[in-house]
């Protein structure tokens, strides 16, 4: 689940399916040893972190967040997961802003994308 609204959907999905939940957070929020990824945003740059031992090599992971816009944060999360040897199975979002190209960015990295609601901003 991606910081921070992704925690709501990710934790609920985790509980409903009886699978683990891994929070991906902004720097300095996690208590144990972390791995991090820096990434660019349309208005600057940012960093996300995850516990180093949260995902085992070869483990399949589902990225969960509330909103897919440009895909920058989800792409960074994918890089973070791959950095520790995880395999991104797919990414799911509650809302997708279709005109911002996030789906295409993720799909070009081989990530299957699903969203419940799609909005065209044109």
Work out the average pLDDT over 58-63.
98
Residue 5 annotated as catalytic: yes
pLDDT score at 43: 83
DSSP secondary structure code for residue 69 in this structure = S
Strand ranges (E), 7-109: 34-41, 44-51, 60-68, 87-97
Is the pLDDT at 66 greater than 90? The verdict is: yes
Instruction: Give the pLDDT band (50/70/90) at residue 42.
Output: confident
- Catalogue all structural domains in the chain, each as residue range(s) with its CATH number: 5-119 (3.40.50.2020)
49 is catalytic: no
pLDDT mean over 8-30: 96
How do strand 112-119 and strand 87-97 relate by DSSP bridges? parallel
**How confident is the model over 74-94, as pLDDT tens digits?**
999 999 999 999 999 999 999
Q: Which pLDDT score is estimated for 63?
A: 98
Decide: residue 77, CB within 10 A, 0-12 exposed, 13-18 middle, 19+ buried: buried
Tell the burial category of 11 from Cβ atoms under 10 Å away from its Cβ (0-12, 13-18, 19+): middle
pLDDT at position 54 over 90: yes
Would you call 90 helix, strand, or coil by DSSP? strand
Catalytic residue among 42, 96, 103, 112: 42
Q: Among 10, 98, 1, which residue's Cα sits nearest to residue 51?
A: 1
User: How many angstroms separate the Cα of 66 from the Cα of each of 17, 90, 95, 97, 118?
Assistant: 18, 14, 6, 11, 12
Name the catalytic one among 5, 49, 103, 112: 5
Average pLDDT, the chain: 96
pLDDT at 37: 98
């Amino acid at each position: 689940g991606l910081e921070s609204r992704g925690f709501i959907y990710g934790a609920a999905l985790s509980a409903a399916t009886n699978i683990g939940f891994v929070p991906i957070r902004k720097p300095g929020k996690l208590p144990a040893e972390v791995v991090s990824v820096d990434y660019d945003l349309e208005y600057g740059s940012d960093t996300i972190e995850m516990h180093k031992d949260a995902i085992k090599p070869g483990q399949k992971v589902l990225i969960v967040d509330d909103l897919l816009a440009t895909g920058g944060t989800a792409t960074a999360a994918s890089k973070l997961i791959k950095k520790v040897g995880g395999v991104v199975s797919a990414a799911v979002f509650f809302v997708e802003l279709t005109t911002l190209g996030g789906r295409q960015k993720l799909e070009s990295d081989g990530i299957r994308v699903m969203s419940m609601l799609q909005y065209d901003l044109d």
